[in-house]
């Protein structure tokens, strides 16, 4: 088995891993079916407004508000919603006095894929609420009650704060304090009780947090595939794929829960931890709703005994940017999927090498397409010693072909004897028969590291390169009027380049293979490219561009090394010299050869017995 043949087999193995990996990840998406009992609120959803026009003094009537027991005195503006804005340079949050909570959240530094304002929360489904005692055996949800807003206060250090107050006839009060620091996506949210022993039963708050992830990327199915529910339970980070909807219960302390879509996230954080929590999520099967998922979490919070109590929470609305999330020091950086499952180890490749190198070059070079090309070259240079050794190994195997052919003829009817003699030949010549597979196998963790990196790196979002308008999404040179199963409804040119260059690599390997008599090998060059065509067509242009560059480098290296670097006469002389050296067998080789010799002896005895019987 020569270098080129091993390389092709390595590529086929890689293709099968690709297929298995993507099939596993798409299981949840294939399970999407029409749901008969989706919450009524989903059916009422309408396309989002293109911009925020609400102002502090805006108001409107709300005739659907539940009647609150008279223990809580509503202001004269009862049933009137008032909106107040907190903002900094990166985020704009519009609050409502109905429930004293955020209503609309706009990320100012980002746009949707079609250039509209990126509204991460729009008030239709999102909610923060908990029940309070309003009388004997009576409770009401805070989301149904109208708080009194205070004036926005800006401190000397740039923090903007807004306080909502709710009071009853007995003088007991509830305050919702929101504090937004400058340049931050993380919002402090404090719930302050005066009269907590009367307002809250058994010193426990049952807080409901509802979050909705709207579609903001071009391909809603791909965005769902990259989205999940994340959390830290009992100090350990974990996540759940969205699938078609599910639920999760946590009977141990929970630090935070996040509804994370491909590049953005909405989260609630408890500074003192939730005692326990559960979360349910649904994935609307109707893509016309433009909703990635809706999540409802019920969190139990313990409060201290006494009249006065403070519940310190935080709310996050922002990008799933590794550097930003890492700065919070609460494991939220783990929501950026840099490696999971059987390839969880590749996150260390991303964090330790790919991300620092990419970020450094991105700070110096304007074109991210060029950055990716340079990153590819650096990776190939680092593995070039192994690549060279693999080609040398292939050249040795090719030079041994006449002797291997002679062994095949000599031991045509005895496969075990042929295997033993072939191993002896390889050992005496100093040849590693698997040397040609190493570069192909080495590319497996590198590829999956880059697959995760390019699918989660928000720096690529909206960055154009040549005909690709967004390197974080697939490039398309033509949209088909129909959908092709396992391919899609568009034509990605970078995918075509990746497929063609992969095919050329395989064909070049076949042409230089020392043993191409096996008819199965004739079809192998086409297996991997065909799989790539289906898998890559919906992948980010950054990934297919990387693979195109990597393949082009491989083709150049193959040609240069084979034609100008490898000295076949020198290698042949080395092989002959190796054969003259005494062979030192390892214990493993001795055991293998002893086992083969024993099997051969048993087979000979069996054949002799059969002849005697006849």
Please give the pLDDT value at position 593: 62
pLDDT band, very low/low/confident/very high, at 86 (cuts 50, 70, 90): very high
Please give the pLDDT value at position 526: 73
Tell me the C-alpha distance between 326 and 335, whole Å.
10
- Are 304 and 314 contacting, i.e. CB atoms less than 8 angstroms apart? no
CA dihedral (527, 533, 535, 541) in degrees, to 10, reads: 140
Beta-bridged to residue 319, according to DSSP, are 264
| Residue of 46, 30, 44, 37 whose CA lies nearest to 224 | 30
Tell me the C-alpha distance between 11 and 8, whole Å.
5
Please give the pLDDT value at position 566: 60
Q: Is the pLDDT of residue 41 over 50?
A: no
| Residue of 80, 213, 198 whose CA lies nearest to 147 | 80
In what helix (H) or strand (E) does residue 259 lie, and over which residues does it extend? strand 254-260
CA dihedral (258, 263, 264, 269) in degrees, to 10, reads: 30
- Mean pLDDT for the stretch of residues 67-86: 68
Tell me the C-alpha distance between 231 and 239, whole Å.
6
Please give the pLDDT value at position 18: 56
- Mean pLDDT for the stretch of residues 47-75: 46
Q: Is the pLDDT of residue 55 over 50?
A: no
pLDDT tens track for 491-528? 899 999 999 998 888 777 666 555 555 555 566 667 77
Tell me the C-alpha distance between 296 and 304, whole Å.
26
The pair of structure tokens assigned to 262 is 């491909």
Tell me the C-alpha distance between 158 and 534, whole Å.
51
User: Is pLDDT larger for residue 44 or for residue 80?
Assistant: 80
Q: Which of 333-337, 339-343, 582-586 has the lowest mean pLDDT?
A: 582-586
Please state, in angstroms and as integers, the Cα–Cα distance from residue 422 to each residue in 265, 417, 588, following that order. Answer: 58, 8, 16
> ∠ at Cα 427 (421, 429), nearest 5°?
105
Burial of 3 (0-12, 13-18, 19+ CB in 10 A): buried
The DSSP output letter for 45 is -
Tell me the C-alpha distance between 299 and 72, whole Å.
25
The phi, psi pair for 47, rounded to 5°, reads: -55, 145
Q: Is the pLDDT of residue 72 over 80?
A: no
Q: Phi-psi category of 186—alpha, beta or left, where left has phi over 0 and alpha has psi -120 to 50?
A: beta
Tell me the C-alpha distance between 500 and 496, whole Å.
6
Q: Is the pLDDT of residue 282 over 50?
A: yes
Q: What Rg, from alpha-carbon coordinates, does the chain have?
A: 32
The DSSP output letter for 366 is S
Burial track 34-51 (b if 16+ CB lie within 10 A, e otherwise): eeeebeeebeebeebeee
The pair of structure tokens assigned to 39 is 């919450």
- Are 514 and 2 contacting, i.e. CB atoms less than 8 angstroms apart? yes
- Mean pLDDT for the stretch of residues 52-60: 40
Q: Which of 40-49, 141-150, 283-292, 544-553 has the lowest mean pLDDT?
A: 40-49
In what helix (H) or strand (E) does residue 307 lie, and over which residues does it extend? none
Please give the pLDDT value at position 444: 80
pLDDT band, very low/low/confident/very high, at 63 (cuts 50, 70, 90): very low
Query: Quick one: CA dihedral 259, 260, 264, 265, positive or negative?
Result: positive
pLDDT tens track for 213-237? 999 998 888 898 889 999 999 989 9
Please give the pLDDT value at position 305: 87
- Mean pLDDT for the stretch of residues 307-318: 94
The pair of structure tokens assigned to 297 is 């979490």
Largest CA distance in the chain: 112
Please give the pLDDT value at position 590: 61
For residue 477, the SS3 value is: coil
**Domain 37-42+72-336 falls in which CATH fold?**
Beta-galactosidase; Chain A, domain 5 (2.70.98)
pLDDT tens track for 147-158? 999 888 888 888
User: Is pLDDT larger for residue 22 or for residue 328?
Assistant: 328
pLDDT tens track for 557-587? 877 776 766 655 555 565 556 555 555 555 5
Average pLDDT, the chain: 79
The DSSP output letter for 28 is H
Residues in the chain: 614
- Are 18 and 531 contacting, i.e. CB atoms less than 8 angstroms apart? yes
- Are 436 and 392 contacting, i.e. CB atoms less than 8 angstroms apart? no
Span between the terminal Cα atoms of the chain, in Å = 39
pLDDT tens track for 299-310? 999 998 888 999
Query: Quick one: CA dihedral 472, 22, 220, 122, positive or negative?
Result: negative
Please give the pLDDT value at position 578: 55
Tell me the C-alpha distance between 425 and 412, whole Å.
17
- Give domain limits for the chain: 3-26+347-578, 37-42+72-336
The DSSP output letter for 100 is T
- Are 164 and 102 contacting, i.e. CB atoms less than 8 angstroms apart? no
Q: Is the pLDDT of residue 374 over 60?
A: yes
Q: 393: how many CB neighbours lie within 10 A of its CB?
A: 22
Whose structure tokens read 């539940």?
Answer: 66
pLDDT tens track for 161-195? 999 999 888 888 999 999 999 999 999 999 999 98
Distance of CA 36 to the CA centre of its chain: 30
pLDDT tens track for 387-402? 777 766 666 666 666 7
- Are 203 and 329 contacting, i.e. CB atoms less than 8 angstroms apart? no
| Percent over 90 (pLDDT), the chain | 39
């Amino acid at each position: 088995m020569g270098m080129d043949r091993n390389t092709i087999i390595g590529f086929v193995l890689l293709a099968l891993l690709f297929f298995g990996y993507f099939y596993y990840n798409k299981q949840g998406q294939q399970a999407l079916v029409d749901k008969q009992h989706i919450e009524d609120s989903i059916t009422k959803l309408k396309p989002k407004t293109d911009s925020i026009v609400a102002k502090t003094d805006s108001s409107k009537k709300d005739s659907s508000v539940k009647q609150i027991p008279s223990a809580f005195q509503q202001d004269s503006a009862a049933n009137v919603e008032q909106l107040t804005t907190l903002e900094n340079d990166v985020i704009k949050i519009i609050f409502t006095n109905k429930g004293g909570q955020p209503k609309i959240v706009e990320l100012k530094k980002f746009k949707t894929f079609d250039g509209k304002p990126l509204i991460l929360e729009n008030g239709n489904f999102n909610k923060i609420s908990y029940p309070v005692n309003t009388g004997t055996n009576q409770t009401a949800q805070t989301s149904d009650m109208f708080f009194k807003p205070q004036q926005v206060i800006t401190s000397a250090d740039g923090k903007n704060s807004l306080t909502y107050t709710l009071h009853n006839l007995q003088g007991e009060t509830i305050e919702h304090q929101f504090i937004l620091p400058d340049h931050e996506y993380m919002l402090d949210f404090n719930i302050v009780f005066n009269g907590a022993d009367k307002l809250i039963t058994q010193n426990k708050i049952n807080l409901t947090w509802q979050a909705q992830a709207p579609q903001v990327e071009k391909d809603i199915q791909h965005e769902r595939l990259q989205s999940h529910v994340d959390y830290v339970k009992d100090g350990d980070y974990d996540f759940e794929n969205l699938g078609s909807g599910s639920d999760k219960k946590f009977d141990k302390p929970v630090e935070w829960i996040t509804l994370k879509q491909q590049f953005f996230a909405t989260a609630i954080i408890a500074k003192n931890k939730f005692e326990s929590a559960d979360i349910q999520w649904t994935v609307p099967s109707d893509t016309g709703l433009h909703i990635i998922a809706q999540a409802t979490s019920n969190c139990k919070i313990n409060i201290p005994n006494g009249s006065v109590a403070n519940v310190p929470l935080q709310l996050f609305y922002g990008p799933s940017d590794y550097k930003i999330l890492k700065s919070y020091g609460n494991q939220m950086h783990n929501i950026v999927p840099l490696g999971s499952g059987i390839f969880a180890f590749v996150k260390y490749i991303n964090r330790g090498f790919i991300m620092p190198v990419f970020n450094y070059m991105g700070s110096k070079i304007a074109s991210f397409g060029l950055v990716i090309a340079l990153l590819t070259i650096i990776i190939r240079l680092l593995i070039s010693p192994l690549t060279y050794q693999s080609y040398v190994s292939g050249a040795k195997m090719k030079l041994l072909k006449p002797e291997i052919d002679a062994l095949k003829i000599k031991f045509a009817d005895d496969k075990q004897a042929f295997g033993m003699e072939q191993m002896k030949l390889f050992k005496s010549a100093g040849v590693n028969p698997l040397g040609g597979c190493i570069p192909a196998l080495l590319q497996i963790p590198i590829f999956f590291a880059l697959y995760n990196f390019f699918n989660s790196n928000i720096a690529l979002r909206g960055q154009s390169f040549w005909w690709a308008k967004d390197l974080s999404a697939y490039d398309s040179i033509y949209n088909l009027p129909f959908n092709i199963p396992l391919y899609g409804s568009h034509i990605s040119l970078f995918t075509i380049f990746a497929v063609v260059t992969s095919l050329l690599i395989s064909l070049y390997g076949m042409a230089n293979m020392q043993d191409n008599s096996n008819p199965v090998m004739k079809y192998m060059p086409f297996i991997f490219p065909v799989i790539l065509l289906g898998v890559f067509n919906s992948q980010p242009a950054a990934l297919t561009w990387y693979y195109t560059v990597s393949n082009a480098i491989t083709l150049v290296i193959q040609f240069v090394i084979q034609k100008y670097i490898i000295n076949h006469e020198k290698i042949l002389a080395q092989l002959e010299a190796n054969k003259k050296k005494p062979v030192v067998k390892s214990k493993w080789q001795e055991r293998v050869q002893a086992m083969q010799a024993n099997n051969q002896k048993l087979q000979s005895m069996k054949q002799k017995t059969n002849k005697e019987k006849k």
